[in-house]
Structures are given as structure tokens and as C-alpha cells.
Structure 1
């Protein structure tokens, strides 16, 4: 079977899930594919671009909001969280990819577009979208770390239901604050 970028990303994602981000090396990916590490560089010039492609794969399932009404911002945040929780260390992977400005999938772009369409300024929309992304990434990183530590017996346990409640509360707080801020701006502009 020919070595393709898609096969490399699939193998990398499988390694991420089994061993974690720290152990997802180019050498390990190459070994999983039965090739030398140098063969990967025909498709990805460096490890960072491979990590970005893996992050894109993780986030590819984020669907476009066809009807951005009701609690759309909370639903969007929950959808991003769901995708991140599906893969070990995915929040750390996506955060590092975003920090480097790599990757083609920007989950915050969807939120920005909807916020602007609902009356937010570009700056407000960017601020709200980034605040939500920072909250979701930070929350999921902590969830994934605690879950892994509990599995290793380092901490007593991980309470997923409690974590879900904390996430929901944080999202409600961010939604209320962002809606209030956007409404104040809209009133000033009228």
C-alpha cells in the first residue's frame, strides 16, 4: 500500500490514542507504517506540520451550525469538547497547533462568524471565540490529565460527572457574559 499523507495521519492518531502526545515521534509513526522516518518528510516537512494535520483530523468532525439559535454557543463549545475528549491528549495537541498558527481547521472561526452575524463587532467576536476556545482547551486538558493520572493510580480517581457539571457551569457563565457584552455594544451602536 502506498504511503500517503492520510495513512500517516491515521497512524499518528492511533499512536496518539495509545501512547499519548509525548510518545508520538516521527520514528514511532514510521515504524507503525513499516517505513523509515525519512519517508514521512516527503509528505510533511517537519513534525509540527504532521501534528497540525492530526489536530485537523481530530477537529474535522465539527459540524457547521446550520441554525445558530438558542444556546448555539454552548452547543458549539460542547461539540468541540466532545471531539477533543475522543482522543488522548487532543486538547494539548490542538492548543499547541493553534499557538503555532498551524492547521486548516479553526473551530473558533465558526463562532466568530455567527457572533458577527448576530451583531457583535469583529473584535468582540474574536474575543468571545478565543475566550471559549481557551476555556474548552484548558478544561479538557485538565480532564484528560486527571483521567490519565487516575488510571495510573497517582490520584484517587476522576469524577467525569463532576467535570461535566463544571464544564456546563463555565459555559453558561461565558454565554451570559458574552451575550451581555454584545447586547451592550449593539445598544451603543443604535
Structure 2
């Protein structure tokens, strides 16, 4: 009667952050096409239903993964100009998309569905607004820079930097009007 319970009879408790971190590791190991809640649960040693304690579903977990990848890519910097901030956010976004297997597909997909990965575009729009852009220019300009990063994640660094400068020159010209 005094025997202790084995580890298989007690549920394994995981923090949300631990689940997200392991989900990113599973992404690296198997890629997005073979990533699943079932695979993650097996890797964590829990039933798939245990993941729903932290996430309403796969899309919510994918969004949390994308947000975590973006957060990991943040640099502690004080930005002075709007151009510097847009450049920094764009480079951080690109670095996050290049940091893990299929991270670009994950981040772009989650963003497109409006489920996560929204912080970069919010930061860029806020920087443009501080520069004097009206709401439409801030929204469209931020989207333009974001989609530039999505479309050019595979470019070499020099080509990426030159393309980004061309986009920023266009926004500067628009703001001067």
C-alpha cells in the first residue's frame, strides 16, 4: 500500500513556454510538413489532448511558435530614426525566418492567417507613424517592408540590404511629400 506511484501514472506537467520550445525543436527535426500535435505530444511523452491545456488547437500553437521565433530574434537596441527601426525589424524578421528549419514558412503562414507573428508589422507601422505617415501610408508601408522580408529571405545579405534600402528610399520620398 505504501508503494509510490510510477511516473507513467502521473501526468507530466509542462509549462506553456516549454511546450513551445519543444515544438520548435520538433520543427527543426521534422520540418513543417511533418510537424503535428500528435508528433509533439509523443515527443513530450503526453497524450495529444494534454497539449490542449495550453493551446486551443494546432493553429494557436503554430502562432505561439512563430511569435517565440520572432522574440528570440529581437535585439536590445534603442532606435533613434524610423528608418533604423524599420531596417532593424526587417533584419530581425529575416533572421528569425532563417533561424530554424521551415521557420519562414511557419512565420509567413501564421501571419497571413492573422493568428500570430503580427508584432513586426505593428512595430514598423508605429515607426512610420512616428515619422509622420498617415494611417494608410503607415499600414501599407509596413506591409510592403514585411512582404519584402518574406519574399527575399533567401537572398544573400548584400542583395537583401540593397533591396531594403531601395524600399526605404521610396518610403522616405513618400514621407517628404
TM category (shorter chain) comes to 0.7 to 0.9
Structure 1 residue 99 corresponds to structure 2 residue 108? no
Could you list the runs of 5+ residues in structure 2 that have no partner in the other structure? 1-11
- The 3-state SS of whatever aligns with 1:168 is helix
What residue is the counterpart of 1:178 in the other structure? 171
- The structure with the largest helix share of the pair is 1
What residue is the counterpart of 2:4 in the other structure? none
- C-alpha displacement of 1:126: 0.8
Deviations 1:104-149 (A, max 9, x none): 7511111111111111111101111101111101222xx2xxxxxx
Relative to structure 1, is the Cα distance of residues 70 and 53 closer, same or farther in structure 2, using a 3 angstrom cutoff? closer
Which structure has the bigger radius of gyration?
2
Distance 1:104 1:94 in 2: 6
Deviations 1:60-98 (A, max 9, x none): 132476223274122321122112211111111111111
Structure 1 residue 110 corresponds to structure 2 residue 103? no
Match among 49, 68, 89 for residue 80 of structure 2:
68
What residue is the counterpart of 1:10 in the other structure? 21
1:1-190 pair list within 5 angstroms? 2-61=13-72, 62-63=74-75, 66-69=78-81, 71-72=83-84, 73-103=86-116, 105-140=118-153, 143=154, 163-184=156-177
The total of aligned residue pairs comes to 164
Could you list the runs of 5+ residues in structure 1 that have no partner in the other structure? 144-161, 185-190
What's the TM-score once normalised by structure 2's chain length? 0.85
What's the TM-score once normalised by structure 1's chain length? 0.79
- Calculate the aligned-residue CA RMSD, in Å: 1.8
What residue is the counterpart of 1:152 in the other structure? none
